[in-house]
Amino acid sequence: MRKSPQPAALAVLVMVVAAVFAGPCAAEVKLAFIDPLSGGAASAGINAQKHFTYEIDKINAAGGLNGEKLSIVFYDNKVDPQESLIALKKALDDGALYVFQGNGSAVALALSDAIAKHNERNPGKEVLYFNYAAVDPALTNAKCTFWHFRFDSDADMKMAAAVNYIATQPQVKKVYLINQDYSFGKAVAAAARKMLAEKRPDIQIVGDELHPLQKVQDFSPYVAKIKASGADTVITGNWSNDMYLLFKAGKDAGLKVTWYTYYADALGAPTAIGRDGNGVVKVVTSYHTNAMPDLDPDVAAFKKRFTENLDEFNYYRLNTAFMMFTAAAAKAKSNDPVKIAKALEGMKLTTSVGEVEMRADNHQLLQPLFVATFTDGVKYDVEKTGLGFKTDVKINAKDTAMPTTCQMQRPNG
């Protein structure tokens, strides 16, 4: 019953090899990217990876941050909170100062918590956490920390934008809510109920459905309920298969409603929805290629470099994030995380779609939001489907602000 010495030897070998591959450490600002690069959600992570490659190359070509080049290491977390914590430890050991993550609110909450604990236990070695896509409102409310900055509008802010638009549409009379049964889906449903009641109390909410996450293959019973309720509008936070299958079942059954979604512009969604979504699918987004008369120059450069069907600039807010990061480094005249964090708070910038602001009280980015329809006849299509997005209404950054319950503890000095 002896514990074999092999494991230790193996582990030692691994560490030596890893150390060899770690590479030289010149004066660099190290970034870490912790997102899925394999497994079911890999495509979103791989797409984001390209954004990072583009942005960092651009900054380094312009001289870097305060004279130091940026370097990034990509860690695959397979959208798992535990794997993310392991990746975080690797990143910290490798000397990363800024951690980027976006896919999955569960992961985001785990990382935010872990980084706060690390910073508390290791004063002088603080790291910052830049969240570019995890939209659970808790991250900038009950669970906010000084070290977390969110560069995407949260689920409540997006719902406010959608509801404000719906309020101007008199033909909307009956709304059906259908969401995935977990924290994000429930947050979407709760926000929809509350905000519709405030803005348009005459609208009847004829359904509030929660279905198990990524388990339903056949949405036709749900579609039957939607039909039976007489709804003319469906609001859903569903993403990936849950959205595609729901939409497909709706199309099969001849359901005639307008769909308000959060993720119809996510990677792969336009292809999956296809022509059947023409004119009836709407999305709340921070950018789409027809938002301005012409493409944002960064988006154009990106599309020149990455030319596959699925290479859309889906994370415009990463562009905003890096703009703010660079500006904060310039303002603080240093690349130290604590100084950059203080410089970021309250920062205002102008991007190609309008003014943005990083709130000091809860580290939530205020950015312009668009409610857009998936339709043909637009200048730029997405994913080579022939269809693209067209703005229905644009909401300015400061109008997206929501009250916060955040009470963050600030470091002194």
Partner 1 sequence: MNPLTRSGPLTQWATQHRPWIAAAIVLIVLPHVPGLDGNFGRSLLSQMGIAAVFALSYNLLLGQTGLLSFGHAVYFGLGGYAGIHLMRAINEGLPIPMPLVPLAGAAAGLAFGILFGAVTTRRAGVVFALISLGVGELVFAAMRILQGFSGGEEGITANRGAGPHLLGLTLGPQLQVYYVVAFWALVAAALMAAFLRTPVGRMCNAVRDNPERAAFIGYDPVRVRFVVFSVAAMFAGLAGGLHALNYEIVAAEAVGAGRSGTVLLMAYIGGVHSFFGAVLGAVTITWLQVSLSDYTTAWQLYLGLFFMAMVLFAPGGLSGLLLMHRPIVRTRAFVGVLKTYAIAAIPAIVAVVGAIMLLEINYRRATQPDAGARMRLFWVDMDTATLWPWLAALALLAAGAFFFYRYRPRVAQAWQRASDEARAASDTPRAGAP
Partner 2 sequence: MNPSPAGRGARVREASDAPSPHPPRRRAAASPSGRGDLKRELAPAMFEIVTFSLLNGVVYGLLLFMVSSGLTLIFSLMGVLNFAHASMFMLGAYFSYQIGKWIGFWPALVIAPLLVAVIGAAVERYGLRYVHKQGHVAEILFTFGLAYLIVEIVVMVWGRHPVENRVPAVIDFPAFVLFGTSYPAYKVLMMAISVGMFAFLYLAFRRTRLGLIIRAALTHPEMVGALGHDVPRIFVLVFAIGSALAGLAGVIGGFALLTEPSMAAALGPIVFVVVVVGGLGSITGAFIASMLIGIVQTFAVALDYSLLDLLRVLHVTLGRDSPFYEAAAVKIAQAAPLIPYLLLVVMLIVRPRGLLGRREA
Residue 171 makes contact with partner 1 by CB under 8 A: no
The torsion angle over the Cα atoms of residues 234, 236, 241 and 247, rounded to 10 degrees, is 10
Which of the listed partners (partner 2, partner 1, none) does 225 bind, with a CB threshold of 5 to 8 Å by partner kind? Answer: partner 2
| CA dist., res. 24 & res. 8, Å (int) | 26
Which of the listed partners (partner 2, partner 1, none) does 327 bind, with a CB threshold of 5 to 8 Å by partner kind? Answer: none
Q: Which residue has the tokens 């979103």?
A: 44
- Answer whether 310's CB lies under 8 Å from 267's CB: yes
Which of the listed partners (partner 2, partner 1, none) does 390 bind, with a CB threshold of 5 to 8 Å by partner kind? Answer: none
Residue 257 makes contact with partner 1 by CB under 8 A: no
CA distance between the termini of the chain:
56
Cβ 63 to partner 2 shortest distance, Å:
37
Binding region for partner 1 (CB under 8 A) out of 6-14, 234-242, 246-254, 398-406: 6-14
Which of the listed partners (partner 1, partner 2, none) does 110 bind, with a CB threshold of 5 to 8 Å by partner kind? Answer: partner 1
- Going residue by residue from 223 to 242, which x/- string records binding to partner 2, judged by CB under 8 A? xxx-xxxx----------x-
Nearer CB in complex with partner 1: 40/230: 40
**In this structure, which amino acid lies at residue 181?**
D
Q: Which string of DSSP letters, residue by residue, matches 216-280? A: -S--HHHHHHHHHHT-SEEEE---THHHHHHHHHHHHTT---EEEES-TTSTTHHHHHGGGGTTT
Nearer CB in complex with partner 1: 14/197: 14
Edge-to-edge strand ranges of the sheet holding 204-211 = 204-211, 174-180, 233-236, 258-261, 281-285, 369-375, 388-395
Residue 113 makes contact with partner 1 by CB under 8 A: yes
Candidate list 29, 32, 34, 37; residue touching partner 1; CB under 8 A? 37
97's tokens: 């100062």
177's tokens: 């809510």
Other beta carbons within 10 Å of 122: 11
Which residues, listed in sequence order, are joined to residue 236 by a DSSP beta bridge?
Answer: 261
Rg for the chain (alpha carbons), in Å?
A: 22
Show Cβ contacts of residue 202 under 8 Å, excluding neighbours closer than 6 positions.
173
Candidate list 23, 63, 212, 377; residue touching partner 1; CB under 8 A? 212
Cβ 185 to partner 1 shortest distance, Å:
10
Q: How many residues bind partner 2 (CB under 8 A)?
A: 51
What DSSP character marks residue 65? B
Nearer CB in complex with partner 1: 16/25: 16
- Going residue by residue from 11 to 30, which x/- string records binding to partner 1, judged by CB under 8 A? xx-xxx-xx-----------
Cβ 34 to partner 2 shortest distance, Å:
19
Candidate list 7, 19, 124, 202; residue touching partner 2; CB under 8 A? 202
Q: Looking only at residues 125 through 144 of this chain, which bind partner 1 when binding is defined by CB under 8 A?
A: 136
Residue closest to 44 by CA, chosen among 111, 101, 109:
101
Binding region for partner 2 (CB under 8 A) out of 4-12, 87-95, 162-170, 294-302: 162-170
Cβ 215 to partner 2 shortest distance, Å:
5
- Going residue by residue from 35 to 74, which x/- string records binding to partner 2, judged by CB under 8 A? -----x-xx-------------------------------
Residue 348 makes contact with partner 1 by CB under 8 A: no
Show Cβ contacts of residue 209 under 8 Å, excluding neighbours closer than 6 positions.
176, 177, 178, 179, 222, 225
Which of the listed partners (partner 1, partner 2, none) does 1 bind, with a CB threshold of 5 to 8 Å by partner kind? Answer: partner 1
151's tokens: 């560069």
- The footprint of partner 1 (CB under 8 A) covers 1-8, 10-12, 14-16, 18-19, 37-39, 42, 46, 50, 75-76, 78, 80-82, 85-86, 89-90, 92-93, 105-106, 109-110, 113-114, 117, 121, 136, 181-184, 212-213, 215, 306-308, 311
